[in-house]
Amino acid sequence: MESTYQSMITLAVALAIGLLVGIERSWSDRDGQEGSRIAGVRTFSLIGLLGGVAVLMSREVGAWFVGVAFVVVAALSITAHVLDVQEDQDLGSTTAFSMMLVFMLAAWAAYDAVIPAMAVTVVVISLLGYKPLLHSWLKMISPRDFYAGSKLLIISLVLLPLLPNQGYGPWQALNPFWTWLMVVLISGMSFLGFVGMKIAGERAGLIMTAIVGALASSTAVTVSLARLAKRVQRYRLFAGGVLLASAIMFLRVMIEIFVVYPGLLAKMWLPLSVMCAGLLVGFLWLWLRREEERGDASRDIEVQNPLQLGMALQFGIVLAAVLLLSEAMKAWFGDYGIYALSVISGVMDVDAITLSLAKSAQQQRETDVATVGILLACATNTMVKGLMFAIITGARQAIWLPFFMGFAMLPGLLIAVLW
């Protein structure tokens, strides 16, 4: 009885896989004439059911039966596709591949992998259903951006495994493998923001622009919003955008710490969250009191593609230098040398010093110095962005911004010292 019950469940799942994909395929071609499509709900459902039946029968006759059944499905799918091309001159092969994939997913589910097979089915349906959206996204990425990213990815995948994973130089501070791995991490996070900017396009409002732009570069967002504020004379509105972008930077820092040394994040999540919350409070206060329209900022944000080899090498050199300097400053001046380096590094960027101190804390199991150093870098970088906005806009209405941003950093610093 139990075996029969399990077989029924297996066939039900296989049928569901075919049914779901078949519904999507029929819905996408709902305007076509009846009988004009290669396969619809019934055909896909039967293919899914065939995959489940083939696996159940293979337990009696042998595993070869599943292979034979797949060959039959593949042959029928290819034949139907060829006939469809001859009749309609439609070269699209998505439905034919979907038919073969449904059989494989149904068979996979029958091999006691129901959850993974259903998860992949959901992904397949999403890819099939969002075809127009995916194509529109591709049009937003220029060939230059695509090939620049491809070069870096190829170099990373080929070069990274070959790099030695050990320390070199003074204090054994330079690890080629770890350094390039962090370059890939930062470039990847920045690329998500870059793609978000491209996808958002001109339809994005200030909030979405600040969020996705800050994933790529909160400094670039600050400079662009400052220039836009000066041009349109809307200081309060775009100052709020700077506060929001700066708050997102703290989430980025948390991700970096978690990747390098999760144990450090256990000590830093509270002060970082308090700093982020202070900036968000300022953003909400400005947003609720705005007198201007929300505006469209995305078209004016200038963020370069971070998946460029030149930018990656530049960050790698900076990271290696900060790694070396952090060890040198600690050896020469103790903890205060680390704090001084954190402030200096924070003027330009927080990624390199964050990764460096997180790595140092992981190796030496000393979290206090790394915590204060990273927070000092974040606070410095935040106040510098506020100062940049005030200087670029040249407006009295914006002179308060760096002071407010500095004030918002104080609670987090106090928590780090007292906690």
Q: What is the 3-state secondary structure (H, E, C) of 226-249?
A: HHHHHHHCCHHHHHHHHHHHHHHH
Read off the tokens for 16.
């569901």
List pLDDT tens digits, range 179-203. Answer: 887 777 777 777 666 666 566 554 4
Q: Which residues contact 105 (CB under 8 A, 6 or more apart)?
A: 17, 48, 51, 117, 120, 121, 124
pLDDT at res. 83: 72
> What's the start-to-end Cα distance of the chain, in Å?
61
pLDDT at res. 383: 92
List pLDDT tens digits, range 121-174. Answer: 888 887 777 666 666 656 666 666 666 667 667 767 777 778 887 777 676 667
* Contact of 395 with 230, CB cutoff 8 Å: yes
pLDDT at res. 273: 94
pLDDT at 294 exceeding the cut of 80: no
The DSSP symbol for 26 reads: H
What does pLDDT average to over the chain?
A: 78
Using CA atoms, how far residue 409 sits from 278, 282, 348, 359, 380, in Å, is 7, 12, 17, 24, 9
pTM: 0.66
